[in-house]
Amino acid sequence: MQPPFGFLFDIDGVLVRGRTPIPAARKAFQKLLNSQRQFSVPVVFVTNAGNCLHQKKADQLSHVLGVPISQDQVIMSHSPLQMFKHYHDKHVLVSGQGPLLDIAKHLGFHQLITIDRLQEIYPLLDMIDHERRPKVLHTPAVELPKIEAIVLFGEPVRWETNLQLIIDVLLTSGYPGNPYSQSAYPHIPVLACNMDLMWMAEAQSPRFGHGTFMLCLENIYKKITGNELRYEALIGKPSEVTYHYAEYLIRMQAAAKQWKKPIRTLYAVGDNIMTDIYGANLYNRYLEENSRAGSKACVQAKAAGGTGSSTVSQEDDIDNPWESELASASATRCLSILVCTGVSNPHTEVPSDTRKSITETVFHGHRDFRFDPALVEPDHVVTDVDAAVDLIFQLENFAPDENRRTP
């Protein structure tokens, strides 16, 4: 039986909490395999985590779920940066933690500098930690070429260092050894992955995510300069570009199995209303408009769904083969399924008065994504991921593997 649908699974709060597997996950995944232990439905994992390589994430998932997962099934917040070829040749400052340089090189970047290296070259910049202040004052031995763009991969450690040095790079147009300049606005491009304000680990309450770091950066920049920090692109859920990429990978999986039926429906299973539900609903809106227009709308590799006020359009940069691949989606809809094992408690009402919700700052979405009540409403709410798989098989009237013998 060939499925006309595919799955997008979020990881944290759906399959695991921190390093601890959620019990329903293993059960759910046994249902997705055929008797040869291959997936009987296309499956991708879409996570906003980003501090490791695809292969490592795939290995972790294989271990947790007890099923073989390949790295082509894993989309992390930074994965769509592969499409931003325009930046791959630029001198880029990267912020985050983990094997950042390896991750960035895998994506195609090759002129990279880390915050740590910048701090070494310009030891006078990072003054917060008294222990790290330079003992001897000297002028930098290395003359750095202009930093042309900044990529925020994920939350760093020692935030004060990253905040200070990123502000320095922005306010000096990429020459952090220079004094601040009035003419540094609009600033050099900033691309950011993963806008999640918070995420769910083992603790009882949510933990700070990269979105919290970005919030700090945006506010410091605004306070110091009076101007808005602008993002060239916002990548990771709920940005459309991430869902285009997921749809593409699902289509490739179906093609590899020589399934002839087009994949029409995507089911996005997640625990975060502002990330998983908003993103799936936003992409669904795109698919609906796309099929209504009857034409292949140009994929805008930008933070689609953003208000656009502070996000720069990327249209000029999409001159690569991805454009046609991503624009020819076979999916016509993307349904959102909320599970109750993670960060969002569906029993907490989202305020219907949107202005009230914004002024009371309960809107946990990113600044450049407008609050829209229709986008935070899941199509289905279920207890856990196992219930989600059961529901979807039932909705699709799908028998996973007729040949499978029950033990």
Q: Pick the stretch among 13-21, 23-31, 295-303, 382-390 that binds Mg ion (CB under 5 A).
A: 13-21
CA distances from 122 to 100, 170, 184, 261 (A): 20, 15, 19, 58
Cis amide leading into 262 (omega within 30):
no
Q: Pick the stretch among 3-11, 17-25, 183-191, 294-302 that binds Mg ion (CB under 5 A).
A: 3-11
* Shorter beta-carbon distance to Mg ion: residue 46 or 303: 46
* Shorter beta-carbon distance to Mg ion: residue 13 or 306: 13
Counting contacts by CB under 5 A, is residue 211 touching Mg ion?
no
Q: How far is the CB of 342 from Mg ion (least distance, A)?
A: 5
Q: How far is the CB of 16 from Mg ion (least distance, A)?
A: 9
* Shorter beta-carbon distance to Mg ion: residue 254 or 388: 388
* 91, two tokens: 């001198």
For 343-357, the three-class secondary structure string (H helix, E strand, C coil) is: CCCCCCCCCCCHHHH
Q: How far is the CB of 238 from Mg ion (least distance, A)?
A: 12
Q: Pick the stretch among 12-20, 82-90, 302-310, 318-326 that binds Mg ion (CB under 5 A).
A: 12-20
Counting contacts by CB under 5 A, is residue 196 touching Mg ion?
no
Q: Could you tell me whether strands 190-193 and 233-235 are parallel, antiparallel, or unpaired per DSSP bridges? A: parallel
Q: How far is the CB of 9 from Mg ion (least distance, A)?
A: 10
CB atoms within 10 A of CB 294: 7
For the chain, the straight-line distance linking the first and the last C-alpha, in angstroms and rounded, comes to: 21
* Shorter beta-carbon distance to Mg ion: residue 247 or 271: 271
Enumerate residues 6+ apart whose C-beta is below 8 A from 304: 239, 240, 241, 282, 286
Q: How far is the CB of 273 from Mg ion (least distance, A)?
A: 10
Counting contacts by CB under 5 A, is residue 271 touching Mg ion?
yes
* Shorter beta-carbon distance to Mg ion: residue 176 or 206: 206
Q: Choose which of 13, 42, 154, 279 interacts with Mg ion (CB under 5 A).
A: 13
* Shorter beta-carbon distance to Mg ion: residue 223 or 347: 347
Counting contacts by CB under 5 A, is residue 155 touching Mg ion?
no
C-alpha 201/C-alpha 342 separation (Å) is 9
**Alpha-helix runs per DSSP H in 195-337:** 210-225, 240-256, 278-293, 322-327
Name the residue with the smallest CB distance to Mg ion: 13
8 Å CB contact between 88 and 109: yes
Q: Measuring CA to CA, which residue among 203, 207, 110, 111 is closest to residue 154?
A: 207
* Shorter beta-carbon distance to Mg ion: residue 10 or 126: 10
b/e code 107-146 from CB counts within 10 Å (16+ = b): bebeebbbbeebbebbbebbeeeeeeeeeeeeeeeeebee
Q: How far is the CB of 384 from Mg ion (least distance, A)?
A: 13
Which residue's entry shows tokens 């916002």?
234
Q: Pick the stretch among 24-32, 38-46, 176-184, 272-280 that binds Mg ion (CB under 5 A).
A: 272-280
Q: Measuring CA to CA, which residue among 18, 3, 27 is closest to residue 49?
A: 18
Q: Choose which of 12, 240, 384, 386 interacts with Mg ion (CB under 5 A).
A: 12
8 Å CB contact between 260 and 2: yes
Q: How far is the CB of 236 from Mg ion (least distance, A)?
A: 12
* Shorter beta-carbon distance to Mg ion: residue 12 or 386: 12
Which run of H or E residues covers position 60?
Answer: helix 54-65
Q: Pick the stretch among 135-143, 173-181, 271-279, 358-366 that binds Mg ion (CB under 5 A).
A: 271-279
Q: How far is the CB of 272 from Mg ion (least distance, A)?
A: 5
Q: Pick the stretch among 8-16, 63-71, 110-118, 294-302 that binds Mg ion (CB under 5 A).
A: 8-16
Q: How far is the CB of 12 from Mg ion (least distance, A)?
A: 4
Q: Could you tell me whether strands 16-17 and 20-21 are parallel, antiparallel, or unpaired per DSSP bridges? A: antiparallel
Rule CB under 5 A: which residues touch Mg ion? 10, 12-13, 271-272
